[in-house]
A and B are shown apart, each in its own frame.
Chain A
Amino acid sequence: MGYTIAEKILLKHSGQKSIRPGEFIQAKVDVALANDITAPLAISEFKKSGFKKVFSKDKIVLVPDHFAPAKDLKSANQCKILADFAKEQGIKNYFEIGCMGIEHALLPEKGIVLPGDLVIGADSHTCTYGALGAYATGMGSTDLARAYIDGKCWLKVPASVKFIYKGKLNKWVGGKDLILYTIGQIGVDGALYKVMEFSGPVIRKLGMDDRFSMSNMAIEAGARAGLIEPDEKTKKYVAGFKRKPKFYYSDKDASYEKIYEWDVTKLEPQVSCPHLPSNTKPVSSLKNIKIDQAVIGSCTNGRISDLRIAASLLKGKKVARGVKLIVFPATQKIYLQAVKEGLAEIFVSSGGVFSTPTCGPCLGGHMGILADGEVAIATTNRNFLGRMGSPKSFVYLSNPAVAAASAITGRITHPDKIK
């Protein structure tokens, strides 16, 4: 029996001769990531352990992005723990604001994560890098502290589930809609402890930004990772980075616990309604849902192609009276690109806010907390009760086109309706 791409990467990093789903392995990590919420715990566990030096200065990545730029004194102190630790240990990949970005957009952009890598991150959306053909998975702070000590992590090898998307995508439908649809079909624990492997002709046509959006939300179905086999687009994306990628592909006789196959030709933009990412509905079925805020950005949809789509709708238009539009590009590079292309001007002219990169609004941290009773449409990844602020607020998840169209009309709107 052959191996899936995920199993091949885990096998390589375990140093074993063979592996099988359900088995516990100790694997060497290529990248160990943490942010300003999770790193302070990891660093304090590392220090308590009595070990003095981290296992590698190159493989540890620290990104203060959640409450940064520091939203208050406590957050400032947390961010400082990362800065001090990076300095003390000589950690190369520490990103202060100014060169910072939302971690899951920043690491691929900088070539820090590459195809074939085993990446662990104390952030659940670490699964984003699966889009590159890497095994990337979210863990906790203590897992990170352990990796700081010996460069390894423990894993129970997950079984894989394959998703094949066939047909041709409609205008305004992209990776975000495919993943919202998928979660809607299988539920928030539909891939619990599994690897999701996204494949089929529709995936091959998706650009890298759309692929990142898909892999990013694998965790929302309970999955450990969400992988896409590399192709020419992947190779082009990683060409020129210093470290060399390793390309793995699933064997023809690889074993999958389940295979889903969908024709997505008729799929329209999807919206996940409060309070679970699996409450997915086609946008045109939502009638007269008034919004107070539209949020475009995050590790799910804060990349340049997301901003281009939003700007194409907002150009020459005004945000509806009473609606707050917040656009936050995911990295400094994307921010600068948006300025150069005139996208930033479109957002600001339309009456929106164009923010520095931060995770802030997505997790109800800062930069746009929802008040009691407020409704938001957001291109983020979670709509749990109280996720973006008040426990009495409501979050609808969508792609950037739906969020932009809704900002213009003040109601959840199909982008086709914007003329």
Chain B
Amino acid sequence: MVIKGKVHKFSDDINTDDIIAAKYLVSTDAQELGKHCMETINPTFSQAVSPGDIIVAGNNFGCGSSREHAPLAIKGCGVSAVIAKSFAAIFFRNAINIGLPFLESADVDKINNGDIVEIDLATGVISNLTQSKLYKTQAFPNFLQEIVESGGLINWVKKSTKSQ
């Protein structure tokens, strides 16, 4: 799968309260949550996103709460993928489980706000089309790829229960 979009840059330690504030957790609807994505730190973020855009952030992206509403809000506002130097553990598994594409990359600092980048999830290669640069990332371990290829954790469980 290849994803192409405009970059929205964020700093280190973007927490789940930044991504979706607790007051909006009275809904589980991705579109509704998406309207308030990143609102605390950037009130106009959801309007600035065009479908397919990509979030690029520093270390520890998604730290804080276990709320799956965070990756849902990111998906719901139209963001197609997240690239960060590192991800908080619960956010990491939530993104895998619900099928939000993401990549860990050490080259985040080389990517600028507004750059157009293309991500090849199968190879883990990020192409910065604006700067004509390529960044390589580690592919997911086999087990995680299985979940992604199944279309999320629940489908993976359904498959593995059937095969038993």
Residues of A within 8 A of B (CB): 24, 37-38, 40-41, 44-45, 48-50, 66-67, 72, 74-75, 78, 121-124, 126, 138-143, 145-146, 149-150, 154, 188-189, 192-193, 219, 222, 224, 276, 363-365, 382, 384-387, 391
Given A44-B28, A384-B17, 16 new contacts (CB under 8 A): A37-B25, A41-B68, A41-B69, A66-B22, A123-B65, A139-B93, A140-B66, A140-B93, A142-B97, A142-B98, A149-B161, A193-B89, A365-B23, A384-B15, A386-B18, A387-B22
Are A364 and B21 CB-contacts (below 8 A) given A49-B154, A139-B90, A193-B89? yes
Residues A192 and B88 in contact, CB atoms below 8 Å apart: yes
Name B60's contact: one of A49, A126, A222, A363 (CB within 8 Å): A222
Can you list 15 A-B contacts (CB < 8 A)? A37-B22, A45-B154, A67-B26, A74-B27, A123-B66, A124-B90, A140-B90, A140-B93, A141-B68, A154-B147, A192-B89, A219-B64, A222-B88, A276-B13, A385-B18
Chain A residues with CB under 8 A of B25: 37, 66-67
- Report how far A384 CA is from B25 CA in the complex, Å: 17
Whether A138 contacts B66 by the Cβ 8 Å rule is: yes
What is the 8 Å Cβ interface bit string for chain B, positions 121-164, against chain A (1 contact, 0 not)? 00000000000000000000101100100001110011001000
Nearest-neighbor residue (CB-CB) of A50 within chain B: B158
Q: Which of A67, A140, A365 has the most chain B CB atoms inside 10 A of its CB?
A: A140
A359 closest partner in B (C-beta): B22
Interface residues of B (CB under 8 A from A): 13, 15, 17-18, 21-23, 25-28, 40-41, 59-60, 63-69, 86, 88-90, 93-94, 97-98, 141, 143-144, 147, 152-154, 157-158, 161
Chain B residue at smallest Cβ distance from A224: B89
**Complex formed: what's the CA distance from A40 to B158 in Å?**
20
Contacts A188-B13, A385-B17, A386-B17 given; does A138 touch B90 at CB 8 Å: yes
Does the CB pair A38–B68 fall under 8 Å?
yes
The answer to whether B93 and A143 have CB atoms under 8 Å apart is yes
- A38, A141, A145, A189: the one contacting B13 at CB < 8 Å is A189
The answer to whether residues A142 and B90 also contact, given A41-B28, A150-B161, A364-B21 and a CB cut-off of 8 A, is no
Taking a contact as CB atoms under 8 Å apart, the answer to whether B66 and A78 are in contact is: no
Q: How far is the CA of A122 from the CA of B154 in the complex (A)?
A: 16
Q: Which residue of A lies closest to B95 (CB)?
A: A140
